[in-house]
């Protein structure tokens, strides 16, 4: 196995163009497991660790441009205000050691339906900035996941950054696992209230072949909140609306039975998490959250 160690982003893109089957390595917390277990033996490993800009981020007016290799620990500690949903999801990833190494670029590269960043990115609204020697493109997060552990990257492309919309309202992330730490999700749910546009977005993890949004649930809730004047009044969401939202979220799942849980359990748990996270975020919105932009 050849180890390519580009010193700059340009060198990395050139190396990927020359060796399209080269496998990038960032934190290594996914790829090294595969190599150690002999599940994969790539001809070339493309080490991205010398490219410092991949571990940097910029906070803009409307979004955060998060370098592909920014570790979860930094998101938790430095970007909690801008990206609360992703910060909460980051907290649930593995252990401090893994969170110091692993990042969102690697989670997207692996594109496991159980990756914890995905529901938070789907709920917040994000675009993946990918680049090759041919140029740069922004892939909407909804179009990024193309199958089980498959993504929309072309063979010569690398992930440069993720553009994530800054929170304009409360966000939550909930994960079911067999214990509180070092656990891959049995299923997970992310929600983001967007008072500025009077919309709610969601993300479901580990309950379909890819991470997905509960679109029918979002549409139902958006209409119910608008028609009932909830955004203006901040009144409590009626149990029937919350129940219908939960049922539609459950219906968005297309899970399988596996070692971590049954399909039936996953559907049920996603409904529970949808109802709970809606309750938590709405309570936050009714309180301090309502002073946020667009809610006045
Ligand atoms: C013990 C343990 C526990 C874990 N627990 C969790 C958990 O709770 N939740 C969770 O979501 N994950 C978990 N993981 C998986 C892993 O930590 C995450 O997926 C992490 O985000 C991977 O990031 P990384 O930088 O280490 O990726 P790497 O292992 O370096 O790479 C992962 C994949 O992404 C590709 N890649 C990396 N960077 C780029 C780039 N810039 N452009 C294109 N492709 C790229 C690589 O080629 C590879 O295919 C766990 C792993 C371990 C070992």
Q: Which of 4, 26, 67 to mutate to test the pocket of ligand 1 (most atoms within 8 A of CB)?
A: 26
Closest Cα to atom 9 of ligand 1: 93
pLDDT of residue 288: 64
Q: Is the pTM of this model over 0.95?
A: yes
pLDDT of residue 296: 35
CB of 25 within 6 A of ligand 1: the answer is yes
pLDDT of res. 294: 41
Answer for the pair 12, 46: CB distance below 8 angstroms, yes or no. Answer: yes
68 C-alpha to center of ligand 1: Å?
Answer: 11
Point out which residues pair with 172 in neighbouring strands. 191
Residue 101 near ligand 1, beta carbon < 6 Å: yes
The answer to whether residues 274 and 192 touch, using CB atoms and an 8 Å cutoff, is no
Residue with CA at minimum distance from ligand 1 atom 32: 106
In the reported structure, the alpha carbon of residue 33 is separated from the centroid of ligand 1 by a whole-number distance in angstroms of: 10
- CA separation for the pair 72, 57 (Å, rounded): 12
Per-residue pLDDT, 181: 86
Ligand 1 in reach of 24 Cβ (< 6 A): yes
- CA dist 171 and 124 (Å) reads 8
Pocket of ligand 1 contains residue 71 by CB under 6 Å? no
Confidence (pLDDT) at 290: 58
Partnered with residue 174 across adjacent β-strands are 189
- Among 24, 44, 52, 54, say which to mutate for ligand 1: greatest number of ligand atoms within 8 Å of CB: 24
The response to whether residue 253 sits with its C-beta less than 6 Å from ligand 1 reads no
CA angle 244, 222, 243 (to 5 degrees): 15
Q: Ligand 1 mean position to 99 CA, how many Å?
A: 10
**pLDDT for the residue numbered 201:** 98
pLDDT at position 269 is: 98
Pairwise CA distance, residues 157 & 135, whole Å = 9
Q: For residue 110, which atom of ligand 1 is closest to its CA?
A: 33
Ligand 1 midpoint to CA 201 (Å): 25
- CA dihedral in degrees (221, 224, 226, 231; nearest 10)? -70
Q: Quick one: 110 exposed, middle or buried, by C-beta within 10 A (0-12, 13-18, 19+)? A: middle
Residue-level pLDDT at 295:
40
Residue nearest atom 41 of ligand 1, based on CA coordinates: 159
Strands 23-25, 44-47: pairing kind: parallel
Compute the C-alpha angle 36/93/182, nearest 5°: 65
Q: What is the pLDDT of residue 176?
A: 97
Low-confidence ranges of the chain (pLDDT < 50): 291-296
The answer to whether residues 35 and 41 touch, using CB atoms and an 8 Å cutoff, is yes
């Amino acid at each position: 196995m050849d180890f390519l160690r580009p010193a700059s982003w340009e060198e990395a893109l050139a190396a990927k163009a020359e060796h399209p089957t080269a496998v990038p390595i960032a934190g290594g917390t996914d790829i090294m497991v595969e190599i150690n277990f002999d599940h994969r033996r790539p001809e070339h490993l493309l080490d991205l660790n010398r490219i410092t800009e991949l571990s940097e981020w910029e906070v803009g007016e409307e979004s955060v441009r998060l370098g592909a290799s920014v570790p979860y620990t930094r998101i938790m500690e430095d970007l909690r205000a801008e990206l609360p949903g992703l910060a909460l999801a980051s907290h649930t990833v593995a252990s401090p050691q893994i969170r110091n190494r692993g990042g969102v670029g690697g989670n997207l590269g692996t594109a496991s339906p159980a990756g914890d960043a995905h529901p938070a990115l789907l709920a917040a609204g994000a675009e993946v900035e990918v680049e090759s020697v041919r140029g740069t493109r922004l892939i909407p997060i909804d179009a990024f996941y193309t199958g089980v552990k498959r993504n929309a990257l072309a063979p010569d492309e690398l992930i440069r950054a993720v553009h994530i919309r800054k929170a304009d309202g409360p966000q939550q992330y909930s994960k079911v696992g067999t214990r509180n730490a070092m656990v891959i999700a049995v299923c997970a749910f992310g929600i983001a209230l967007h008072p500025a546009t009077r919309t709610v977005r969601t993300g479901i993890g580990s309950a379909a072949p890819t991470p997905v949004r509960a679109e029918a649930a979002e549409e139902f809730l958006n209409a119910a909140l608008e028609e009932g004047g909830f955004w203006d009044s901040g009144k409590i969401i009626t149990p029937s609306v919350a129940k219908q939202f939960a049922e539609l979220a459950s219906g968005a799942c297309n899970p399988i039975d596996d070692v971590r849980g049954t399909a039936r359990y996953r559907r049920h748990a996603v409904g529970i998490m949808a109802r709970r996270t809606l309750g938590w975020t709405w309570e936050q919105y009714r309180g301090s959250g309502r002073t946020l932009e667009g809610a006045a």
